[in-house]
Structure 1
Amino acid sequence: MSHSTAAAAPVSERLHALDAVRGGALLLGIVLHATLSFVPASPRFWIIQDTHPSVTLGLLSFTIHVFRMTTFFLMAGFFARMSFHRRGSWGFVRDRLQRIGLPLVIGWPLVFMPIALIVIWASHFPNGGPIHPTSGWLPALPKFPLTHLWFLYVLLELYVATLLLRGAMVWLDVSGTLRMVFDRVFARIMRNPLAPLVLAIPIGIAFCLDPRWINVMGVRTPDQSLVTNAQAWIGFGTAFGIGWLLHRQVDLLRLIERCWLTHVLLAVFLILVSFAVSGVMLSLPVAPKLPVSFATLRLISAILYAPAIWVSTFAVLGLALRFMSGFSRTWRYLADASYWLYLIHLPIVMALQVALSQLDWPGLTKFAIILLVALPPMLASYHLLVRFTFIGVVLNGRRAEKRLLPQGGIATA
């Protein structure tokens, strides 16, 4: 008997929550990028470093970075399997090319050109300009600045890998026996209170094997090359696969919902300790006589940060399932809008960061101004130019179709 079905009503309620999580992950990306010019860091890692850095915004940036993309790719895997079984193989491929491939191909030059101009503008200010001027920041294969659209590129790779893996599994396991074994093993892992720690093992090993890794990097994002690095494949590929397997056994979501408070408290602890360790590691150049070596600190950091990724991901899912399971017109609208907002936001946020960078105002004030100035026109552009137009059909599917489905309309991304 298949483990992939559940009662219709609970599934519908959970999909409202999961759609909110998926849209929220994209919206948090806008908040994350708005913090980056204020993060205290040496050397600089963003196109401009504000004259008024903020430890508070550094902590906010660090916290969002821990769980956001893992949560996003987990939801991507969950909704990808749903779309695959609703549309069939070729329908799924056509849909993904339209809603993921087309925005990448068309959107990249449209966002990269203004980003390049803003980087040049930032170079006229102290502590601004290209981050890696010696290696170049213009396209030069295989180096390629995918910018914030790298997630679309990785999604396409994961779709291809998943379809190939699934095809091989179906061919080898005609009776379905092997898949049932995998379902049982996965369910046993998920029912164990230590499930987040088990899921953290692959990315934790990847962190330890990377001699350049420190926890402020999180999972190394493949935003500067068309060759996706192994760490991204392991971290985001694992999340995508877990999402796919969760859709096979939707009732396992109840376990995540039930433990939401435990996961939230543990996530807060792990994130705060990891943030403190990152501060110690970044201070090593000016405080070289610490009683532990950098290698030891890096190992401790990996042991803390890898579980923090999965515990905080479970915490976010549990919170959503516990408190956002009902239909909300506001969250549905924001979930639909989030894909468009994320695609267009980076040049707008960067331009505001550069414009405000030299003002003698508190960092928190300037951060708030960036969001208050950027978000209203972006939302207006979605409502006027996207929601009821062919662009909305490309990004989110037909609205008539979405009204028939409980999972909402943003791309499986």
Structure 2
Amino acid sequence: MSASTDAAPASERLHALDALRGIALLLGIVLHAAMSFVPIAPRIWLIQDTHPSLLLGLLTFTIHVFRMTTFFLMAGFFAHMSFHRRGSMGFVKDRLQRIALPLVIGWPLVYVPIALIVIWAANFPNGGPPHGAFGWMPPLPNFRLTHLWFLYVLLELYVAILLLRGAIVWLDASGTLRTLIDRLFARIIRNPLAPLVLAIPICIAFCLDPRWGHSMEVRTPDQSLITNAQAWICFGAAFGVGWLLHRQVDLLRLIERRWLPHLVLAVGLILICFVLAGVMLSAPGAPKLPYSFATLRLVSAILYAPAIWITTFAAIGLALRFMSGFSPAWRYLADASYWLYLIHLPIVMALQVALSQLDWPGLIKFAVILVVALPPMLASYHLLVRFTFIGAVLNGRRAEKRVLPHGGIATA
């Protein structure tokens, strides 16, 4: 099977998915801005605000469920599109420019101010390096990739998919195996239980990790150059699903039609998992619970893994249903989102430390962080990036020449 030849609808869907990829990055800024308000012990962020918020805790939990899976699915989708437009060598050159170069140059530029801000936060009783954090320059393979870990994992996935594709093409000269893979994938996606099928590998990974359950999430490889199994399974599977989806673009119509049941199920599962996460965190101090921690952990894994995929499908369906068609505003934000995400963390962290001791409600301080941080970051994009060589590096070509599907960071 090949990608759809229905050019106009495909173009409309590309606008929606490009916007969704940008939203996934922008939600990362929202997530990090809320982290200091999460009411959890031991502290998991550089500082814990004096006015924690259960509502912001739910917000961070919800974003954690689907954001990176959605992002990596979009990355796989647009990677397949870019690969077949540019060819192998063009694809590799493009990825080195737009992914590897920002990682190599950007890491020291954000790590140094982050380190200084953490030292500043340590002057407060509720601040400093989080519990269990490595030293400033831990021995290899431990390495603080910070929030740029997603670029590192993207590079790994690009290498993996190129090697896998090369092996399949070499072994499958007739194309029979690729046809069978496309048919099997289409059968899975057409089944209403597709999110449950896709959830099986990550559910098994959760169950096999004795540390999972103390923190209900996919463990991100932000502290090591060796990507952990959970990240490989969850984000690698999402990347592969995106790659295969672009081979059969019409399957997106099924995901779009199911947006409402996926959304209802996602909301229910997220709320149940949020409650279970709170119960498990309190389990050591609550010996009279009718169920053991192991039982709670198993139930949580069985529910959380499908929640990841159902919520991801809900996000894609919502984007396709309500964001198809070209929007200058969404296109601008999609282009800007990469730069904003690269630079946001030191700015957000500094504001969190500065506001942490004020006697204001947590929601007010959270809003202040976003209102103060976002305008100068957007201004920096417009003045320093959008029409300069930096924008050409990050987004592929200069803004005034970009038209979907050729331009934009979508192919990242």
Offset at residue 399 of structure 1 (A): 3.0
Offset at residue 140 of structure 1 (A): 2.4
The Cα offsets for residues 355-391 of structure 1, whole Å up to 9 and x where unpaired, read as 0000000000000000000000000000000000000
Q: What residue number does 1:51 align with? A: 50
Q: What residue number does 1:11 align with? A: 10
The Cα offsets for residues 85-119 of structure 1, whole Å up to 9 and x where unpaired, read as 01000000000000000000000000000000000
Q: What residue number does 1:299 align with? A: 298
Q: What residue number does 2:94 align with? A: 95
Alpha-carbon distance in structure 2 between the residues aligned to 1:224 and 1:321: 35
SS in 1 for 2:283: coil
Alpha-carbon distance in structure 1 between the residues aligned to 2:39 and 2:55: 10
Alpha-carbon distance in structure 2 between the residues aligned to 1:89 and 1:14: 25
Q: What residue number does 2:261 align with? A: 262
Q: Give identity over the alignment, percent.
A: 81
Q: 1:372 is matched by which residue type in structure 2?
A: V
Q: Give the unaligned 5+ runs of structure 1.
A: none
Offset at residue 410 of structure 1 (A): 1.2
Q: What residue number does 1:377 align with? A: 376
Describe how 1:103-252 pairs up with structure 2 within 5 A.
103-132=102-131, 135-214=134-213, 216-252=215-251
Offset at residue 289 of structure 1 (A): 1.5
Alignment CA distance shift 1:378-1:188 (3 Å) = same
Q: 2:394 is matched by which residue type in structure 1?
A: L
SS in 1 for 2:300: helix
Alpha-carbon distance in structure 2 between the residues aligned to 1:106 and 1:388: 20
Alpha-carbon distance in structure 1 between the residues aligned to 2:37 and 2:164: 43
Q: What residue number does 1:390 align with? A: 389
SS in 1 for 2:285: coil
Offset at residue 412 of structure 1 (A): 3.1
Offset at residue 294 of structure 1 (A): 0.5
Offset at residue 139 of structure 1 (A): 4.0
Offset at residue 286 of structure 1 (A): 2.1
Is structure 2 residue 364 aligned with structure 1 residue 365? yes
Alpha-carbon distance in structure 2 between the residues aligned to 1:239 and 1:389: 33
Is structure 2 residue 54 aligned with structure 1 residue 63? no
CA contact under 8 A between 2:216 and 2:277: conserved in structure 1? Answer: no
Q: 1:210 is matched by which residue type in structure 2?
A: D
Q: What residue number does 1:334 align with? A: 333
Alpha-carbon distance in structure 2 between the residues aligned to 1:354 and 1:144: 24
The Cα offsets for residues 178-225 of structure 1, whole Å up to 9 and x where unpaired, read as 100000000000000000010111111100100110274411000000
Q: Which moved more, 1:325-334 or 1:135-144?
A: 135-144
Alpha-carbon distance in structure 2 between the residues aligned to 1:256 and 1:405: 22
Is structure 2 residue 285 aligned with structure 1 residue 283? no
The Cα offsets for residues 129-159 of structure 1, whole Å up to 9 and x where unpaired, read as 0114674232421110000000000000000
CA contact under 8 A between 2:397 and 2:407: conserved in structure 1? Answer: no
CA contact under 8 A between 2:387 and 2:399: conserved in structure 1? Answer: no
Q: What residue number does 2:40 align with? A: 41
User: What is the Cα-based RMSD across aligned positions, in Å?
Assistant: 1.3
Alpha-carbon distance in structure 2 between the residues aligned to 1:243 and 1:54: 35
Alpha-carbon distance in structure 2 between the residues aligned to 1:276 and 1:217: 11
Offset at residue 11 of structure 1 (A): 0.3
Alpha-carbon distance in structure 2 between the residues aligned to 1:407 and 1:289: 60
Offset at residue 331 of structure 1 (A): 0.1
The Cα offsets for residues 228-254 of structure 1, whole Å up to 9 and x where unpaired, read as 111110010000000000000000000
CA contact under 8 A between 1:20 and 1:335: conserved in structure 2? Answer: yes
CA contact under 8 A between 1:75 and 1:240: conserved in structure 2? Answer: yes
Q: 1:412 is matched by which residue type in structure 2?
A: T
Alignment CA distance shift 1:411-1:395 (3 Å) = farther
CA contact under 8 A between 1:215 and 1:274: conserved in structure 2? Answer: no
Q: TM-score, normalised by structure 1?
A: 0.98
CA contact under 8 A between 2:15 and 2:404: conserved in structure 1? Answer: no
Alpha-carbon distance in structure 2 between the residues aligned to 1:215 and 1:392: 41
Alpha-carbon distance in structure 1 between the residues aligned to 2:403 and 2:33: 36
CA contact under 8 A between 1:16 and 1:408: conserved in structure 2? Answer: no
CA contact under 8 A between 1:77 and 1:240: conserved in structure 2? Answer: yes
Offset at residue 402 of structure 1 (A): 5.6
Q: Give the unaligned 5+ runs of structure 2.
A: none
Q: Which moved more, 1:352-361 or 1:128-137?
A: 128-137
Alpha-carbon distance in structure 1 between the residues aligned to 2:279 and 2:305: 18
CA contact under 8 A between 1:332 and 1:408: conserved in structure 2? Answer: no
Q: TM-score, normalised by structure 2?
A: 0.98
Alpha-carbon distance in structure 2 between the residues aligned to 1:398 and 1:228: 31
CA contact under 8 A between 1:6 and 1:251: conserved in structure 2? Answer: no
Alpha-carbon distance in structure 2 between the residues aligned to 1:303 and 1:356: 39
CA contact under 8 A between 2:389 and 2:398: conserved in structure 1? Answer: no
CA contact under 8 A between 1:395 and 1:411: conserved in structure 2? Answer: no
Alignment CA distance shift 1:51-1:122 (3 Å) = same
Alpha-carbon distance in structure 1 between the residues aligned to 2:304 and 2:136: 29
